[in-house]
Amino acid sequence: MRFESPDTIEQAIGLLNTCEGTSRVLAGGTDVLVQLRLALVEPELIVDIKHIAGMRDITAEDGGFRIGAAVSGAEMGEHADLVALWPGVVEAMELIGSTQVQGRATLAGNLCNASPAADSVPAMVAANAVATIVGPNGTRECPVADIPVSPSKTSLTKGEVITSIYLPARPDNSGDAYLRFIPRTEMDIAVSSAGVSLTINCDGVVTQARVSLGAVAPTVLVVEDASSAIIGTKLEDAAIATLQAACSAACNPIDDKRGTVEFRTKTAGVMAKRAALIAYSRAGGSK
C-alpha cells in the first residue's frame, strides 16, 4: 500500500488517475481507516488531501460559505457565522461519531462514503448544497443530491476529488434543522432521519421549503409533497400532519438489524415533523 500526501490538487488527481488498482482519498479518515481495519478494502494507493491549500478552510463567498473537503465537524461547529447561517447542516455534521471523530470527520468524506444513513447528507440536500469537483478533465459543480447513486457508490469518475462544498446564501427569516432517530443518544447510525430547510415571510407564512429524508431509501430522498404541504402555511397542525404523512409515504426502506420497514417509515415522518418545527422556529416563526 502506497501512502501519498501531495501539496497540490493536480498532484493528487495525477496520482489517483494513474493508479491501476483500488485507491482511496483520505481526508478525516474516519471511514477509510475503519474499512482498512475491518479488511473491507486493501487499497493500493491512499492519497491524503489534508495538506493541499484551501482544503481546511471555511471561506465566506457570495453570502454563503465554501467548506474545504478536509474541514472537520468540530471546526464547523466553532465557526459562529456558519452556524448562524446553516445551523441544521452543522448540527447534522456534529452528530457524527464521538468528540474524537468530530476532530477529523468531514462533510465531503461523509458524502463520498455514500451511506444511505449519512447524517450530513440529508441536511446538505435540504440546503441545496453544491459540491466542487476537480478531476482530470477540469473542474465541475454538482448538487450534493446527485453525488451518491447507491449505497457505497458515488457519481464521481476516476481521478475526481471533491475539493469543497458550497452552502449558498439564503434570504432573511430562513432556518434549517436535521433530526435522526437512533436507539441511544449518541455514537450510533441513523435508523431514519430528516432535514428541513425553509424560509418564512413577515407574517410567518412559509414561502420556500425543502424536505429530505435519510436511511429510508438507497439514497437521500427529496420529498416534494412534504415541502408543498407546508408552503403557504404557518405549520398549522393540519399542514404538519400532511408533511408527516407525505414523508412516510415517500419511504422505501429495508428491514434490517437496525430497524423494521414499519418503524423506519413511521419515524421518518416523525423526524420530519419535528425538524420542520425546529426550522420554523429558527426562521423566526412562532407557534
Partner 1 sequence: MVTEYKEGSVGAEFNKREFKVVGTRPPRPDGVDKVTGRALFGADFTAPGMLHATVLRSPHAHARIVSIDTSGALAMDGVKAVVTSEDFVKQTSSGNQDTLDNCMARGKVFYDGHAIVAVAATSVKIANAALKLIKVEYEILPHETDVDAAMLDSAPVLHEGRKFRNIPEGNNANVSGYWEFGHGDMDEGFAKADIVIERSFKTAATHQGYIEPHATLATMGPDGRGEIWVCTQGQFMVRDLAAAFVGIEASQLRVTASEIGGGFGGKTTVYLEPVALALAKKSGRPVKMVMTREEVFRASGPTTSSSTDVKIGMTKDGRITAGQAKLRYQGGAFPNITAMLGAMTAFASYDLEAVQTQAWNVLTNRPKQAAYRAPGAPMAIYTVESVVDELCQKLGLDPLEVRLLNAAKKGTLSSYGPTFDEIGLVATLEAAKAHPHYAAPLGPNQGRGVSCGFWFNFAGNTSVSMNINEDGTVAVIEGNPDIGGSRASISMMAAEELGIPLEKVRTIVADTNAIGFNDVTDGSRVTFAVGLATIKAARAAIQNMCGRAAQIWGIDADAVDWVDGAAVPTGHNAGDFPPMSLAKIAADSAKTGGPIAGHFEVNADGAGVSFGVHLVDVEVDPETGFTEIKRYTVFQDAGKAIHPDYVEGQMQGGAVQGIGWALNEEYIYGEDGKLQNAGFLDYRIPVASDLPMIDAVILEIPNPGHPYGVRGVGETGIVPPLAAVANGVSHAAGVRMTELPMSPPRILAAIDGAK
Q: Which parts of this chain interact with partner 1 (CB under 8 A)?
A: 181, 183-189, 191, 257-260, 262-263, 266-267, 270
> What minimum distance in Å lies between the beta carbon of 231 and partner 1?
24
> What minimum distance in Å lies between the beta carbon of 38 and partner 1?
8
Beta pairing, strands 64-68 & 58-61: antiparallel
> What minimum distance in Å lies between the beta carbon of 179 and partner 1?
10
> What minimum distance in Å lies between the beta carbon of 281 and partner 1?
19
Q: Is 33 helix (H, G, I), strand (E, B) or coil?
A: helix
Which residue, 117 or 209, is less far from partner 1 as judged by CB?
Answer: 117
Handedness of CA 52, 53, 54, 57 (dihedral sign): positive
> What minimum distance in Å lies between the beta carbon of 100 and partner 1?
14
Between CA 105 and CA 43 the distance in angstroms is 20
Which residue, 189 or 245, is less far from partner 1 as judged by CB?
Answer: 189
Please identify which residue in the block is written with the cell numbers 451518491. Answer: 148
Q: What are phi and psi of 69, to 5 degrees?
A: -65, -15
Which residue, 49 or 277, is less far from partner 1 as judged by CB?
Answer: 277
**90, 126 Cβ separation under 8 angstroms:** no
Which residue, 56 or 266, is less far from partner 1 as judged by CB?
Answer: 266
Between CA 134 and CA 136 the distance in angstroms is 7
> What minimum distance in Å lies between the beta carbon of 70 and partner 1?
25
Chain centroid to Cα 276, Å, comes to: 17
Which residue, 49 or 213, is less far from partner 1 as judged by CB?
Answer: 213
**48, 26 Cβ separation under 8 angstroms:** yes
> Which segments of 62-164 does DSSP mark as H helices, in order?
73-77, 80-85, 87-94, 99-102, 107-112, 120-126
Which residue, 39 or 202, is less far from partner 1 as judged by CB?
Answer: 39
Which residue, 102 or 174, is less far from partner 1 as judged by CB?
Answer: 102
> Which segments of the chain does DSSP mark as H helices, in order?
9-18, 32-37, 73-77, 80-85, 87-94, 99-102, 107-112, 120-126, 224-230, 237-250, 261-282
> What minimum distance in Å lies between the beta carbon of 150 and partner 1?
22
